Amino acid sequence: MSTALMEAAAPSTAVTETMRAVVVLSFDEAAQVREVAKPVAGSGEIVVRIEASGLCHTDIHAAHGDWPVKPKLPFIPGHEGVGIVETIGEGVTEVAVGDRVAIPWLGYACGTCDYCVSGWETLCESQQNTGYTIDGGLAEYAKAFARHVVKVPDGIDPFDAAPLTCAGVTTYKAVKVAGAKSADLVAVWGIGGLGHLALQYARIAGASVVAVDLVGEKLELARELGAEYTVNAAERDPVAVIKELGGADAAVVLAVSPKAFEQAFASLRRGGTMSLVALPAENRMELPIFETVLNGITVVGSIVGTRLDLREVFELHAAGKTRVVREERPLEQVETAMEDVLHGDVPARIVFRP
């Protein structure tokens, strides 16, 4: 049981302060808003008053128990929480009360393993994940390790900062590991919360973008944000279209469907790279060995991004180089919000106002 909920359940003589939070009680029940204990900052921790909190498709996977490693029930989802530091625990020097911070998926990493010291803290085997192994940001308050939050620069709207905290940093990193550069053609599969930012990072790298989705409105948005080409995969074969353009140098797969991964692979030109990001419940794709070898294809998995990547993402946004498309909703609408995301019925990202 997660700490906040345990505290709420434990009998105590002291008066426990409470807060509203989205709670997942079971994988077959809809997530719901409940009154739970407000967290208290321990040593090295902070408590943040959440101003804006994005809904990532990962929160839906978490609430449904879609993945091989499942979160421990009950838990509070959310890893795009942005807010103001309200209290700091013993020994906290990284942030001060009143700072605006973002609480990303990488809630904790050890800081000393080979991965951590080589700039790959996202691969740390001791990591804790916000909204999965530790309670997340879909709440009025959230507790976080001071070392693992990232300060939000002045001038960035917290409702923009929230989607940047996962959708932004993840796609910024995925475009980086795909090696996208000027004169490349980058195919982006899935123009949702992640995809609408992925295509902007590919353009910042100088590449041309072909956006692929099944929903017409998403493709219109992709055009608005600078995609040179769009393909509705419900109407046309994206592989044929992209091959006609010469093939993709890189493909970033954000669509929650193994079929999309297979199409993305087939759309690559020789020497191309595909960056695997989406995490469909159906955990398999077919990867032909012969074509991978003869065409010199690189397949790379990409998991979120580091604190440094997120700082860079905020820097780009503060410089006016990215646009976050989002819709504000009250926390109480979490159930319908999850359904709307699953049906592709959302401009790009839903951001809750707790």
Residues lying near ligand NAD in the complex (CB under 6 A): 56-58, 61, 166, 170, 189-195, 212-215, 218, 233, 254-257, 259-260, 277-279, 302-304, 341, 344
Please report how close the Cβ of residue 354 comes to ligand NAD at its closest, in angstroms.
19
Q: Which residues contact 253 (CB under 8 A, 6 or more apart)?
A: 189, 190, 260, 261, 264, 274, 275, 276, 277, 278
Please report how close the Cβ of residue 19 comes to Zn ion at its closest, in angstroms.
22
Q: What is the DSSP letter of 313?
A: H
Neighbour-count burial of 67, counting CB atoms closer than 10 A to its CB (0-12 exposed, 13-18 middle, 19+ buried): middle
Is 58 among the residues that bind Zn ion (CB under 5 A)? yes
Please report how close the Cβ of residue 67 comes to ligand NAD at its closest, in angstroms.
9
Tokens read off for 301: 């998995």
In the chain the first and final C-alpha atoms are separated, in Å, by 23
Q: How far apart are CA 134 and CA 75, in angstroms?
A: 8
Please report how close the Cβ of residue 102 comes to ligand NAD at its closest, in angstroms.
14
Q: State how far the alpha carbon of 262 is from the alpha carbons of 61, 155, 312, in Å.
A: 21, 41, 31
59 Rama sector, left if φ>0, alpha if ψ -120 to 50, beta otherwise: alpha
With CB under 5 A as the contact rule, the residue among 62, 63, 146, 166 that binds Zn ion is 166
Q: Which does 124 bind (CB under 5 to 8 A by kind): ligand NAD, Zn ion, none?
A: Zn ion
Q: Which does 102 bind (CB under 5 to 8 A by kind): Zn ion, ligand NAD, none?
A: none
Largest alpha-carbon pair distance within the chain? Answer: 71
Please report how close the Cβ of residue 125 comes to ligand NAD at its closest, in angstroms.
16
Residues 104-123 that bind Zn ion (CB under 5 A): 109-110, 113, 116
Nearest residue to 30 via CA among 60, 57, 68: 60
Is 124 among the residues that bind Zn ion (CB under 5 A)? yes
Q: Which is nearer to ligand NAD, 154 or 235 (CB)?
A: 235
Q: Which does 113 bind (CB under 5 to 8 A by kind): ligand NAD, Zn ion, none?
A: Zn ion
- C-beta nearest to ligand NAD: residue: 192
Please report how close the Cβ of residue 295 comes to ligand NAD at its closest, in angstroms.
22
Q: How far apart are CA 49 and CA 82, in angstroms?
A: 8
Please report how close the Cβ of residue 121 comes to Zn ion at its closest, in angstroms.
6
Grouping H, G, I as helix, E, B as strand and the rest as coil, residue 70 is coil
Is 56 among the residues that bind Zn ion (CB under 5 A)? yes
Q: Which is nearer to Zn ion, 2 or 130 (CB)?
A: 130
Query: E strand or H helix at 53, and its extent?
Result: strand 45-55
Q: Which does 341 bind (CB under 5 to 8 A by kind): Zn ion, ligand NAD, none?
A: ligand NAD
- What does the binding site for Zn ion look like in residue numbers (CB under 5 A)? 56, 58, 109-110, 113, 116, 124, 166
